[in-house]
Chains A and B, each alone.
Chain A
């Protein structure tokens, strides 16, 4: 079913509609795009989301605060730790609970490892979408090391619910620091290979340079945050603006580029991987001793009011808004998902681009569809 307005704007002699349907190898998830093409040029684009809507916000209304956490990691599953951290920070901030230093350090290290893993997956998929199929395997092979670290410490590889209000659920294992340091040494030898294989390749550069332009005003107007926004010059890193957990104790650069095309977004993410590694290196040897969680009451009730907490997820600013009426369940919870805002800019970015570039643009935006549909 295509909306009537897209059909009436169609010039049936010169243009035709193509449906990049819910099942498609290059829309990463179930997203339907109805694209209005004239020859090879995209004239108009309309995304239809909602194919994976599970009613997470409604489900959270009947759950208590510790029970919401396992649902948040099913939103943007590649930044599961960070989503969990958002809800925990909201509860701790509302109740004015002091989290021990050790827990803050552990949370930050896990968040940066998640960011690394997510960017590795993004790199693999970007190469695969553009046709270089070996990048998929190289990126995933290296990501397995991080997932092994997660499995050993948190229990599961991807959908960890490791954070809980007050700290983390278990203490880290004794060889956590050693394994993380080994991984960083290993990955530092692999990043130059990634650059040689994809970034330096003349074919890749020609396919991504100058396509999918997004100016800074448009970025601010659409609310595009994260690496996609920083690729157009918008300094929006929540870790710098409102530091949380242990981010105020580390030195790192906020990567900003001004060109605004797909290649700029690509380079921002590659440099962010390096910054993540430097953050982890600064923290990994200095984890303070102490408790890994403060004791919270068994039933957590937030005082009456509205609360908002924002964190820097791998794809942008992830926000949690809670309206509480004094009970143990939130009255209304809303997740500000970064991918929803990033998707809304896709139409603007892909006007007058060729359909082959549309695939490159979508990969450079790094969309995760379950986050859009919640």
Chain B
């Protein structure tokens, strides 16, 4: 059984630190900085890998090779890109509002990093385990829209403003659908805490246990979160062929890199939430009744399960992006208010009905 509980490791580290330095502010500070360093490293490495994955996947869809010159199979390509971005000049726009202009990329990054802290990577490997985990993640990921609006406004540029306004309207509308589809699962699970949700999926994943309403909720969640992260067919805020580069036109160098990075990390975040809530997070695939099969599945480490599911969903989102044309802003809002929202409201009623009558597995 590989369901090693990381809580043992963390409590050992805590005991070691408290033993030598005493239970006080110093221990807490050291632990927090350790967590911070681990997260920052993870964030950076994951960002590099995701950009590389996007370029390779996109290339295979388009019948061409991706980057293949820098390093074997082009693995060092993203590092080269980021070094280039770091060395670029940070162009200061004189007529822009300097403070807001500089603060905007950081707000976006901070929002996604905060939300990432609540994700469970394995049993016990979770930075913060609130009992309102889902609500916390939704709240912090919504802070990102502030950064986008500030970026568009403070650039003092018509194109950026149009892009930011469109993006703001889009994100705010789609949050409703995201929230409602997550609520559907909360109704099924009975709790908002991530570790409890995953524990409840030990017999089978929620998407199978909650049959029809959970499946509809999953579809709604994927569509709505693609729109939340300004990706795929909903990327008119940064539509290259319409408005040059939308809200991040005026940014160059490291600030642009931060916007770019935060888009990929948001994509990872929403796919990780979908994997946790619908597909069991780090819980291996268990079929109720087949004990032998379940044992075999347990041999694959939970971290592998978690990342496997997340990357499959990321691949799905990339598939959307490279196949479909872009939606216009009014079509996008029509999709949300006339299709996704009524469907998710009805779905939540159906799920409530199912739960009350025990019509689930």
Hey, which bits of chain A sit against chain B, CB under 8 A?
16, 18, 24-26, 40, 127-134, 136-138, 141, 197-198, 201, 203-204, 206-207, 354-357, 359
Contact = CB atoms under 8 A, between A and B. Distances in A.
Interface in B145-199: 158-159, 162
Nearest to B159: A18
Contact of B241 (A16, A131, A198): A131
A132 B242 contact: no
B326 interface: yes
A230 B23 CA distance: 82
A141 B59 CA distance: 13
A356 B162 CA distance: 12
A127 B325 contact: yes
A207 B328 contact: yes
A356 B63 contact: no
Interface of B: 58, 61-64, 158-159, 162, 233, 235-236, 239-242, 244, 322-331
Contacts of B235: 131
A134 B233 CA distance: 13
Contacts of B63: 137-138, 141
Contact of A203 (B58, B61, B324): B324
A201 B324 CA distance: 8
A207 B331 CA distance: 9
A134 B328 CA distance: 19
B323 A132 contact: yes
A362 to B, nearest CB: 10
A204 B325 CA distance: 6
A317 to B, nearest CB: 29
B359 to A, nearest CB: 33
Contact of A134 (B62, B159, B244): B62
10 contacts: A40-B162, A128-B241, A132-B323, A137-B64, A138-B63, A203-B324, A207-B325, A354-B329, A356-B326, A359-B242
Given A137-B64, A198-B325, A131 B331 contact: no
Contacts of B241: 25-26, 128-129, 131, 359
Contact of A130 (B162, B244, B323, B326): B326
Nearest to A141: B63
Given A18-B159, A134-B62, A138-B62, 19 more contacts: A24-B244, A25-B240, A26-B241, A40-B162, A131-B241, A132-B322, A132-B323, A132-B324, A132-B326, A133-B322, A134-B322, A197-B323, A203-B324, A203-B331, A354-B328, A354-B329, A354-B330, A356-B242, A359-B241
A137 B62 contact: yes
Given A18-B158, A359-B241, A203 B62 contact: no
Interface-centre pick from B236, B244, B324, B327 (highest chain A CB count, 10 A)? B324
Contacts of B325: 127, 130-132, 198, 201, 203-204, 207
Contact of B239 (A131, A132, A141, A354): A131
Interface-centre pick from A25, A131, A141 (highest chain B CB count, 10 A)? A131
Contacts of A138: 62-63
A11 B253 CA distance: 37
Contact of B242 (A141, A203, A206, A355): A355
A203 B233 contact: yes
Nearest to A208: B325
Given A128-B241, A141-B63, A16 B158 contact: yes
Contacts of A130: 325-326
A170 B328 CA distance: 50
A81 B331 CA distance: 41
Contacts of A16: 158
Contacts of A141: 63
Given A131-B235, A134-B322, A203 B240 contact: no
Nearest to B326: A131
Contacts of A207: 325-328, 331
A233 B285 CA distance: 59
A134 B242 contact: no
A13 to B, nearest CB: 15
Nearest to B240: A25
B331 A206 contact: yes
State the 3 A-B residue pairs at the shortest beta-carbon distance, nearest first: A131-B326, A137-B62, A130-B325
Contacts of B239: 131, 356
Contacts of B329: 40, 354, 356
Contacts of A203: 233, 324-327, 331
A25 B233 CA distance: 18
Nearest to A25: B241
A129 B330 CA distance: 18
Contacts of A133: 58, 62, 322
A373 to B, nearest CB: 22
Interface-centre pick from A130, A136, A198 (highest chain B CB count, 10 A)? A130
A356 B64 contact: no
A9 B244 CA distance: 26
Contacts of B331: 203, 206-207
Nearest to A19: B158
Nearest to A125: B241
A278 B171 CA distance: 49
Contacts of B324: 131-132, 201, 203
B233 A131 contact: yes
